[in-house]
Amino acid sequence: MIRQTVRWFGVSPPRTLLLGFSFIIFIGALLLRSPISSVEGESMSFIDALFTSTSATCVTGLVLFDTGTYFSTFGHWVILFLIQIGGIGFMTMATLFALILRRKISLKERLILQESLNQGSIEGLVRLVRKVIIYALALETVGAILYTFRFAFDMPLGKAIYHGVFHSISIFNNAGFDLSGDFSSFSDYSTDLYMNVVSMVLIILGGFGFIVLADLFEFRKKSRFSLHTKVVLSMSAGLIVIGAAIIFIFEYTNSQSIGSSGFGEKMLVSFFQSVTTRSGGVTTVDISTFRQATQFFIIILMFIGASPGSTGGGIKTTTFAVLVGAVLAMIRGKEDVVLFRLRLAQERVYKAVTVTLFCIGIVMLGTMILATTEDAAFLRILFEATSAFGTVGLSMGLTGDLSTSGKFTIIFLMFIGRLGPLTLTYALGPKPGRLLYRHAEGKIIIG
């Protein structure tokens, strides 16, 4: 039985990823459950520890307890370690240690890395891992310095450095955990241009994905961008600008959110909220005070999420771009989906549709379960489910009131959202066999 279990997990890279993330979450839960992890020296329940560990490893940011006041320094470092592993990827970290020990990376490990980093081939994977580590650590270090400089005006230098390191790693990895206290996130800095810009840049860079970051850093050498980078940059910019514009318009006269602020402050808050919905998780205003139309639009942005190979979740910007391209091609009567004058293979279009339908189904299932187990308005439930699946971490206040069944449901959504619905399907499903025949073609009426 044990041999069969080991063989089952070792058959394919998706199953290895499934086991790896599960193991890390379980170890994290045990550490967070220990009395040393809390300020009061008390043990939290295992389900609460599992929830927190899953949220950190899946870089989500939904919390049952205020991170800054409930957890001790040891607890903070456990959360930070889980965020770093979850954001960069545990296989990337394992490869880093292998490279340090000068151990050769096997073919099987390269295949797992390929699945983990969402790459099309195993060529150049080890070089990519080196770049991932260097870029991540470099950006996190710069972020920590910038945050420390600002925090030093509000707290002692030692505490400022501590807060700077924690928030830089958390926000770059789009985790959304913060040490502000009282679940206030960055509300104290809602009109602080410096903090807003630093945070937005870290969220955006973390959400681009390491392939895009490599293209950006090596642009002077190559003098051109890949199609993937072009799509990610254009879609990210478009979604951020459109999101900020819609939030600004719908909340302009809402006195409960930004209606009483000046024009510049409204613009700043709108842009920050648009950026953080891409999987950032931190917020400068209480989203529950937004109008329902704005909240629903934020749900759409969270569902789209960040980009492939990044620290963010959602169906990804490239998937959304392919769907938009397919719709435009159909409207224009074209057979091919073309982006930046390059035709996409039909397989890419099918995969985009499959991923989107899978994700819609998972969010619908999670929402239906939560609507049964929780006593809350439907929009709050849909918002929470989408935030968990998109590994965003934004909340309208439902997380702290979740029942045990609700907590398990959110854990499930966060786990699938980080691992990816297709990866989970490949991991749990049977190994595909060779296709021996094709069915005769049939026709149905569409629309």
Tell me the domain boundaries of the chain.
2-425
Query: Who contacts 339 (Cβ-Cβ below 8 Å, separation ≥6)?
Result: 227, 230, 231, 321, 322, 325
Burial class from Cβ neighbours inside 10 Å (0-12, 13-18, 19+) for residue 329 reads middle
Q: Can you tell me the distance from the alpha carbon of 193 to that of 307, in angstroms, rounded to the nearest whole number?
A: 26
CA dihedral over 144, 150, 151, 152, signed as positive or negative: positive
Place of tokens 């990823």: 17
pLDDT at 119: 55
Query: Who contacts 35 (Cβ-Cβ below 8 Å, separation ≥6)?
Result: 41, 42, 43
Place of tokens 């529950």: 288
Torsions phi, psi for 343 (to 5 deg)? -80, 140
* CB 83 within 8 Å of CB 113: no
Torsions phi, psi for 70 (to 5 deg)? -85, -45
Query: Who contacts 218 (Cβ-Cβ below 8 Å, separation ≥6)?
Result: none
* CB 155 within 8 Å of CB 163: yes
Q: Tokens at residue 261, please?
A: 């602020």
pLDDT at 174: 87
* CB 175 within 8 Å of CB 59: yes
Query: Who contacts 268 (Cβ-Cβ below 8 Å, separation ≥6)?
Result: 190, 191, 193, 196
3-state secondary structure 146-176: HHHHHHCCCCCHHHHHHHHHHHHHHHHCCCC
Q: How would you write the pLDDT of the chain (447 residues) with one tens digit per residue?
A: 445 444 444 455 666 677 778 888 999 999 999 999 999 888 899 999 999 999 999 888 899 998 888 999 999 999 999 998 888 765 565 555 555 545 565 555 555 555 555 555 555 666 767 777 888 889 999 999 999 999 999 889 999 999 999 999 999 988 889 888 777 788 888 888 999 999 999 999 888 877 788 888 877 777 788 888 899 999 999 999 999 999 999 999 998 888 888 898 999 999 999 999 988 888 888 898 999 999 999 999 999 988 887 777 888 898 999 999 999 988 888 888 888 888 988 888 888 898 899 899 999 999 999 999 999 999 999 999 999 999 898 988 898 889 999 999 999 999 988 877 656 555 555 555 666 666 776 766 666
pLDDT at 80: 92
